Amino acid sequence: MAELTDLAVRPTTHAKVRILATADELFYSEGIHTVGVDRIIGESRVTKATFYKYFRSKDGLIVAYIEGRDKRAREQLNAVAERHESPARRLHDIAYTLAAEVRTDSFHGCPFINAAAQFADPMHPVRQAVSIHREWYISSIEDLFRGMGHPRPGDAADDFFLARDGAFSGANLGDPIAAQAALMRAVQRVIEEAAAEAAQAG
């Protein structure tokens, strides 16, 4: 009966999609631990039965939220790859995208860092989902520096991510304009150093 009621009042968007969209917005803007399942159910306009049909627990929903953010990031990098053939141009494009992101009104820091900070156990499924994303992203940036001919692409990727993570934290806690400028300076320096290292190694 509950399912029939839900079907009668819900809009055409699939219930699971609405649950994930609601969770994505609330988890990112307000924090994972501060948003309860009942609120997500209410704002998604689904019944509890429908919610638990798709997600056995809040942790399962959080993992799905992280996986959704990861998918979005992969799509962004794929779009960059379609726009540019040069690894250096791709890195510049990624940096500009990150810099623009920290200036948006809806920016609340890195969703992956934010999530990891709320789960201390590295074996927790949420932390593992974050780790999968981070490992993929760092590996992708490392591949771009390797494509530039950098003799130590892993070090360059670490420098890139240190600048990225610092800017995301700084923009969230302080001045996003200063964080944006600092990010672009740092990334430009890393790319220039990569080009110089590659030239010297060649």
Tens digit of pLDDT for each residue in 69-84?
999 999 999 999 999 9
> Among positive and negative, which fits the CA dihedral 135, 136, 138, 144?
positive
Residues with Cβ within 8 Å of residue 158, at least 6 apart in sequence: 138
SS3 labels along 7-30? HHHCCCCCHHHHHHHHHHHHHHHH
Say if residues 66 and 101 touch (Cβ distance below 8 Å): no
Asked if residue 11 has pLDDT above 70, the reply is no
Q: Are 117 and 131 in contact (CB under 8 A)?
A: no
- Give the pLDDT confidence score for residue 9 in this predicted structure: 44
Q: Which pLDDT score is estimated for 202?
A: 64
At 102-141, the pLDDT tens digits run: 888 888 999 999 999 999 899 999 999 999 999 999 999 9
pLDDT at 10 over 60: no
Q: Which of 3-7, 158-162, 179-183 has the lowest mean pLDDT?
A: 3-7
Q: CB under 8 Å to 94, separation ≥6 — which residues?
A: 77, 80, 141
Going by C-beta distance under 8 Å and a sequence separation of 6 or more, which residues neighbour residue 118?
31, 32, 33, 126
Separation of alpha carbons 52 and 193, rounded Å: 51
* Residue range 21-39: mean pLDDT, rounded: 96
Is the pLDDT score of 146 beyond 90? Answer: yes
Alpha carbon separation from 123 to 61, 69, 117, 134, 138 (Å, rounded): 17, 20, 13, 15, 20
pLDDT of 8: 41
SS3 string of 57-81? CHHHHHHHHHHHHHHHHHHHHHHHH
Q: Average model confidence (pLDDT) for the chain?
A: 88
Quick check: 99 and 168 in contact, CB under 8 A? no
Beta-carbon contacts of residue 76 (< 8 Å; ≥ 6 apart): 97
Q: How far apart are CA 29 and CA 81, in angstroms?
A: 29
pLDDT computed for residue 147 by the predictor: 92
Residue-range domains of the chain with CATH: 1-56 (1.10.10.60), 62-201 (1.10.357.10)
* pLDDT band per the 50, 70, 90 thresholds, residue 13: low
Q: How many CA atoms lie within 13 A of 193 on its CB side?
A: 13
How high is the pLDDT of residue 172?
Answer: 78
Q: What is the pLDDT of residue 175?
A: 81
Q: Grade residue 46 by pLDDT with cuts at 50, 70 and 90.
A: very high
97 C-beta neighbours (distance < 10 Å), count:
13
